Structure formats: C-alpha cells, structure tokens
Amino acid sequence: MPMTSLQALSRASVPTDKLILKQKPLISGIVHIGLGNFHRAHLAVYTAIAMEKSGGEWGICAYSMRNKKLVDSMNAQDNLYSVVEIGPDTEEIVIPGIHTRSLVGADAMPELIAQIANPETKIVSLTVTEAGYYISQATHGLDLSHPDIQNDIAQKVPKSIYGILAQSLKLRVANGGAALTILSCDNVSENGRKCGALLKEFVSQLSDFSDVATFINSSVTFPNSMVDRIVPGTEERHIEMAQQRLSLEDAIPVPAEKFTMWALEDNFAAGRPQWEVAGAIFTDEVEAFEVMKLRLLNGAHSLLAYLGGLKGCETIPASRFDPLIEKPLHKALFDEYLPSLTMPTGLSADQYIGQLYSRWSNTALGDKTARVGSDGSTKLPQRLTIPALSAIAQGREPKVLALTVSAWLMCVAPFKGFNPGEIAEQMKDPSKDSLVLLSQTSKDLSNFISRFFSESNIFSSELSSSQVFTSLVENYAQIIYSRGIDEAIAAAIS
C-alpha cells in the first residue's frame, strides 16, 4: 500500500504526538521574511511551543524572496512540515503547525505589505542572511550603491528588506500606526540595532517618508538576538528519515541538530509569544552571546569549511576529524578568537567549545562543507575583523585567521591554474563574479591579494591596510597555490 502523504491528510490526521500546535492559528501575529530551513527549525518551533503552552495569537505568515518550490510545497501541505532531529542521541521528529500561509516573490508583494501593515501583526522577524543587510564595509552603513537598494530608493517593487519594510510602515502609519517590533534572527553583530540603523538610513533617502521616520523612532523596536542551531539543506535521505519516523510522506522536512539556543532582549513594542517556556533566554547580555557565537562557532565553522573544502572534505565532520585541520582549529579557538571576547555570565568557554566539537562531529547530520563555506564575503568580515585587529594590537600575528581568508579566496576566486576542487567550486558567494574577475586580471598572485584588499571593499579599511594581516594572507595564498593547503596549514601553526 502506498504511503499516505502529509499533503493528502487533514490536519486532524497528523500524528498528535508529533504536532506541536494542534489547532491551526487564525491570526498572523508574526510576519517572517526569509522562509527557509533555519526559520522553520528555529523561530517557528519556539513559537509553536510557546503558543501551545501559553496561548496567544502568534501564527506566522512567512515570505520567501524567491523559493517558489518551497512555498508551493508549504501551501500544498497546509503549511505543515516536519523537523527531523539528527544526532547520535536523538530520533525526535516534530511538526510545528504554526504557519498560517506562505508567500513568495514579487507577485505576492502587495499581500505581504498589507499583512505587515495590518495592526494584528505585532512582530516582523527576519532570516535573510548577512548578505540581506547590504552592509558597506567601507562606511559600516548601508551600501547605497547596490542595485537592489537603488531599485528600492526609486520605490519600485522592493528587492530588499528595507524597501519592503519602508513601504509596509508607510501603509501601517496610514492604518493608524500600531506599534511594531522588527526582530532580526541573522548572524549580524548587534543585529537589532544594526537593522534599525540601516532601515533609518534607507528611509532618509526617500522623499515623502518623514512620517515613517517619525513612526520608527516612536513606535518600532529592534531587539538584538542571538540564534544558534545547525540546520543543513534538505536532501533525499532526510525525506526518507521523515517518512520512516512519521509513517507519512513529507516533501519538505527540515533536518536539524538537537542543540538549539536563542538569546534575545525583551524589547517588544506590541507584545510577544512566551518564548521562554520553549527555552529562549531573555537577557541583557545578548551582545556577549552574539560575539561568542559569531566568533567561536561561526568563525571556526568558516575555517572548517575553507580548509576542508581545499582538502576535499565533503562534510563539516570530515573536516573536523582531519588530523591536520584539528591543529589550526584549536589554535583559532583558543589563541585567536577567545582572547577577543568575554563569555556571557554563567557560560564556561571550555564547556561551550566542548559542545562545539561535539556538534561538528555529528556525522549523522553531515552538514555540507560547501553550504557552510558559501557567502564568505558577507560572513568573514563580521567574524574575524575584530579578533584579527585585537591580536595585531597586542603584538600577536593572527595566523589562522589570515589562513582562513587565504583559503576562502583560493576556494571562490582561485588564481590562474589553481584547481580548488569540486567542493570549493560548489561554494556560492555574492562577490564571486567580481573576485574572479579581479583574480583573472591580476598579473600575479601577489598583485591579486594586493588588489583584493585595496579594491574589493569586503574588509574594513583598517584591516585591509594592516601590513601584518595582508602579508600573512598573501604568504598563505602563495603556499596554497604553489605547495598546497597542507603546507599552508603547517606554516600557520608553526
């Protein structure tokens, strides 16, 4: 007998021990921009648990800029899907059941804007990745020259969160101006404050939006938050796992590790779900949580991706278990990242790093190296700039941080004749085309590295002008190019 699909079942037919929220929400108290696997395994799960335990009108209307296939599947399955925990100590699977509807693309923009403007919406949450904030490393403000930002300043159909939010807030003001919270759930340092500052900068570029600027200042809050859960892309094996655990066919399950953490400021202008009953941490130390995660988890994650990518490691566990990569990983964590931060109260560095090693060792989850290594041009500046500058100011050479940059460049923009391998070739990056052009038009590798730091504007001017750092990056790039990644690693840990 063929397996019954989640799509074909009524909500009442879903296994009740797996469905977190058993009654479908009628009101979308939250609009989420950036519908993808991470949102579905993180904020959606916290919200479903909070609403199941404490009630409230917190259904989620979710929007994706371009993933029509996912949105079509969400709608076909009554916005139900499963989250499959994968690890040596878990066989859990749950169905959040929190989404009211899913939207996608430019055609849905009027509906999205109307929903954000609806007074019933209390929170707009974001998972748009670092690239979705359009941060200029030169000014640390908004990249006003970016074509998407130029499009939105011209008030065409929005292509950025700023265009969406500005047009939505304009209508919200006209609808009575009910207070609103905009909640960033992305790996951006001080993400709430940064999002608020960038939105205000964007609105200042628009004519006839002074009412929106006033509304933002008086009635919109931007709490900082730190989100943490490893959530890979969905593969066929995950679909098979979901089917086995549910005895149903789910076309869009989300694989995730068991570990999850969320720390955020309690600064919500119009109320919020009781996320604390689901394990969220409300704290005044969000920045410490952010920095800890951005550097120790994300920074080291990048190292594992680029060194592992060049060594042909398909997954993060394969990279983590490589005996040669083990040494720069330890050095990066304890000698280069840890001295640049203060741990949140009550958290031990040794304990947290021990958890990281365990999470990176999750061979069952098998997070792809190419996925983690994508978008390095928007991720690396936030993760290693301050630790590198701090080390240099203290008279230390940030060798492994420089090696990470060298390996990233050789993965995404390899110099003439260098073959980084198929893992590296799968890595995506918004700056890849411009970096490849820079690489191809440079007379030699030294010239490429010099031009990268002087022309790309990816890293801050302070780091790009550091002779110590740029020389290290050039040195390791030369070694990777001429003698291979193993020799470059040996040089960085000597």
Q: What is the DSSP string of 189-251?
A: TTHHHHHHHHHHHHHTTSTT-HHHHHHHHHHEE---EEEE-------HHHHHHHHHHHSSB-S
Task: Choose among 480, 361, 493: nearest CA to 421.
Answer: 480
Q: Do domains 11-282 and 286-492 have the same CATH topology?
A: no
Average pLDDT for residues 302-311, to the nearest whole number? 98
Question: Which tokens belong to 487?
Answer: 């020799």
Q: How far is the C-alpha of 25 from the C-alpha of 44, rounded, in Å?
A: 13
Give me the count of residues in the chain: 494
What are the backbone dihedrals phi and psi of residue 175, each rounded to the nearest 5 degrees, phi first?
-85, 5
**Residue type at 59?**
G
The H or E element containing residue 171 is: helix 161-174
Per-residue pLDDT band for 479 (boundaries 50, 70, 90) equals very high
Distances (CA, A) of 291 to 190, 298, 299, 393, 461: 9, 10, 10, 19, 21
Name the CATH superfamily, with its identifier, for domain 11-282: NAD(P)-binding Rossmann-like Domain (3.40.50.720)
Q: How far is the C-alpha of 8 from the C-alpha of 166, rounded, in Å?
A: 39
Q: How far is the C-alpha of 162 from the C-alpha of 190, rounded, in Å?
A: 17
Question: Which tokens belong to 425?
Answer: 């070739």
Task: Choose among 267, 287, 284: nearest CA to 194.
Answer: 287
Cβ contact 267:223 at 8 Å = yes
**Residue type at 193?**
R
**7 has pLDDT over 80:** no
| Mode of pairing for the β-strands spanning 30-33 and 261-264 | unpaired
Residue 91 confidence (pLDDT): 86
> For the segment 79-112, what is each residue's pLDDT rounded down to a tens digit?
999 999 999 888 899 999 999 999 999 999 999 9
Task: Choose among 258, 264, 263: nearest CA to 231.
Answer: 258
Question: Which tokens belong to 117?
Answer: 């403007």
Q: How far is the C-alpha of 480 from the C-alpha of 485, rounded, in Å?
A: 5
Mean pLDDT estimate for the chain: 96
Beta bridge partners of 64: 104
Per-residue pLDDT band for 425 (boundaries 50, 70, 90) equals very high
**Residue type at 7?**
Q
Q: What percent of the chain has pLDDT over 90?
A: 94
Per-residue pLDDT band for 3 (boundaries 50, 70, 90) equals low
Per-residue pLDDT band for 9 (boundaries 50, 70, 90) equals low
Question: Which tokens belong to 149?
Answer: 């930002």
Q: What is the DSSP string of 74-103?
A: HHHTTT---EEE-BTTB--EEB---EEEEE
Instruction: Enter the pTM of the model.
Output: 0.94
Residue 4 confidence (pLDDT): 67
Instruction: Name the DSSP class of 228.
Output: E
Q: How far is the C-alpha of 464 from the C-alpha of 454, rounded, in Å?
A: 7
Cβ contact 24:100 at 8 Å = yes
**Residue type at 9?**
L
> For the segment 135-175, what is each residue's pLDDT rounded down to a tens digit?
998 888 999 999 999 999 999 999 999 999 999 999 999 99
Residue 218 confidence (pLDDT): 98
Q: How far is the C-alpha of 461 from the C-alpha of 470, rounded, in Å?
A: 12
> Domain map of the chain by residue range?
11-282, 286-492
**14 has pLDDT over 90:** no
Task: Choose among 378, 472, 481, 329: nearest CA to 420.
Answer: 481
Q: How far is the C-alpha of 268 from the C-alpha of 122, rounded, in Å?
A: 9
Task: Choose among 135, 163, 40: nearest CA to 94.
Answer: 40
Residue 6 confidence (pLDDT): 75
Average pLDDT for residues 440-458, to the nearest whole number? 97
Q: How far is the C-alpha of 286 from the C-alpha of 223, rounded, in Å?
A: 9
Residue 403 confidence (pLDDT): 98
Question: Which tokens belong to 71?
Answer: 């949105």
Q: How far is the C-alpha of 473 from the C-alpha of 337, rounded, in Å?
A: 17
Cβ-Cβ contacts under 8 Å for 437 (sequence gap 6 or more): none
Q: How far is the C-alpha of 189 from the C-alpha of 130, rounded, in Å?
A: 10
Task: Choose among 399, 377, 386, 401: nearest CA to 457.
Answer: 377
**Residue type at 368?**
K
Residue 1 confidence (pLDDT): 34
Beta bridge partners of 271: 269
Edge-to-edge strand list for the sheet holding 93-94 = 93-94, 83-85, 254-256
> For the segment 15-59, what is each residue's pLDDT rounded down to a tens digit?
889 999 989 999 999 999 999 999 999 999 999 999 999 999 999
Name the CATH superfamily, with its identifier, for domain 286-492: N-(1-d-carboxylethyl)-l-norvaline Dehydrogenase; domain 2 (1.10.1040.10)
> For the segment 350-400, what is each residue's pLDDT rounded down to a tens digit?
999 999 999 999 999 999 999 999 999 999 999 999 999 999 999 999 999
